[in-house]
Structure 1
Amino acid sequence: MNRFSVAAVAAALLAVVWSGPANADDLDEGGALYAVQNRKYTASHEFSVNAGSLPMDAFYKGYTASGAYTLHFSDLWAWEVVNAAYSFNVDTDLRRELESNWGVTPTRFPTIQWLGNSNLVVKPLYGKLAWLNGSLLYGELFFTAGPAVASYESDGELQSSGTYVGANVGLGLRFYLSESWSLRLDARDYYFVSPKDVKSTSNELFFSTGISLNVR
């Protein structure tokens, strides 16, 4: 009787040992457990003001002030209805050297005056980070793409002045400060062409940071 009891206990333990890996395999194959929380912050009508830069041109650097309005349809999709920026341009040392030492006139250097765009926005990633192990910081990664327009000026050289049309793509990060306010960082790549001369093209890399107000 004792031998039978010991054998029964041993068989039960062996069954438990073998059943453990089997259950783990079942979870790995299709029964993985996870938890997804709803967003703590959601956007609706977003108004943004930003400061930025256009650093690519070798002959001048643009420092921009811009504003935007974005309509958020859902947690995934939004439409940046309008984003417009004005550029305050500063000549580089290279341009000043060319003008003073080599007599190259400013008409050779078209500069951007303003630019605008309207973009589709997709927001696939949202999450939270621990800030100094004392608080949580909520944020999202988003991508933008859409048509764009810009105005260039070249001090009288008409073939490189005027309105350019094109497109832009970009990405950005948003960090929520509260339900109404958020901080955003944007990077965008613009490509423009002149309707008067398709050989007149321009590529602009645009960085900006700013604050947004969410009105529900």
Structure 2
Amino acid sequence: MLLRYKLMALFSLCCCVPYGIAKDKEDEKPEISIIQKRLFDKKREVGLALGYYPDDNFYEVYPITLNFVNHFNERYAWEVIRASYMVNKENDLKKDLEQNFGVTPSTFDEMTSHFETAFIFKPTYGKDSFLNKHIINHEGYMSLGVGVANFERQVSYGSPNTESAPTASIGIGRKYFINKAFNVSLDLKSMLIFKENNTENYIYLGVGFNYRFDLFGSMHKERSRDTSIYDYIE
């Protein structure tokens, strides 16, 4: 009986020790991470954006925006110019005051246009699988901008006048690439408007349709397409 226990103990030791050695060697293997270079790396970008400012007291404000972006590299870009024209529609509050109470606000500002330039930081880049059939590449970014907003000040007792006020904005967004040239962007911004008498805060929600192109070469050399892996990672 004692011999049987000794043989069982010896067998268990022989089985466990190699496993422990193999496990230690496996744990010693270095982890390898592969980070793919960005496929969508064109230097210039023009865009058309449609947006909405939900914070105005008397108007529904819908900005139509044209912009031009210069991409320095994969991390940083400069939105050289962002020009917005406002399509304004009187909201229910103003109509209710005028029609039901016979009251017109003595003064109210109608934003007519906005011009801005912004620094862009692009910290994230990745891709999603859609229905396990299509790869959608996307890029996340943050922006910090300064600009000028133009208003038409409506008054109930005379002719309207105009006012310009400096602005500062901070925003986040994400771009979804359709191909190497076209992408769709989603933006959320908070904008401060420094008027003479007060400071106002506006929230901007927008969707943009953008076209990227190169002038004087790309940020990266074109990859060779002689292997099937290139098509796979796209």
Question: What interval of TM-score do these two structures reach, taking the shorter chain for normalisation?
Answer: 0.7 to 0.9
What is the CA RMSD across the aligned residues, in angstroms? 2.6
Higher mean C-alpha displacement, 43-52 vs 102-111 = 102-111
Deviating beyond 4 angstroms after TM superposition, the runs of 4 or more aligned structure 1 residues are 7-13
Report the equivalent of 1:136: 135
Q: What is the match of residue 81 of structure 1?
A: 80
Determine whether 1:120 maps to 2:119: yes
1:17 aligned counterpart, secondary structure: helix
Which residue does the alignment assign to 1:209? Answer: 207
Percent identity reads: 25
TM-score of the superposition, structure 2-length normalised? Answer: 0.79
Deviation per CA, 1:86-130: give whole Å up to 9, x if none: 111111111111123334335422121111211110111100101
**CA–CA distance in structure 1, aligned partners of residues 36 and 108 of structure 2:** 53
Which residue is 2:217 aligned to? none
User: Equivalents in 2 of 1:118, 1:14: separation in Å?
Assistant: 66
Deviation at 1:61, TM superposition (A): 0.8
Cα 1:23–1:134 shift into 2, 3 Å: same
1:164 alignment counterpart: 165
SS at match of 2:19: helix
Change (3 A) 1:16 1:37: farther
Structure 2 counterpart of 1:164, one-letter code: A
State the SS of the aligned residue for 1:94.
helix
Letter in 2 for 1:125: T
The residue number in structure 1 matching 2:18 is: 16
Aligned partner letter, 2:21: S
How many residues are paired up? 205
When residues 12 and 41 of structure 1 are mapped into structure 2, their CA distance, relative to the original with a 3 A threshold, is farther
Deviates more, 1:199-208 or 1:120-129: 199-208
Match of residue 191 from structure 1: 192
Amino acid at match of 1:18: G
Separation (CA, whole Å) in 1 of partners of 2:173 and 2:84: 17
* Structure 1 counterpart of 2:43, one-letter code: S
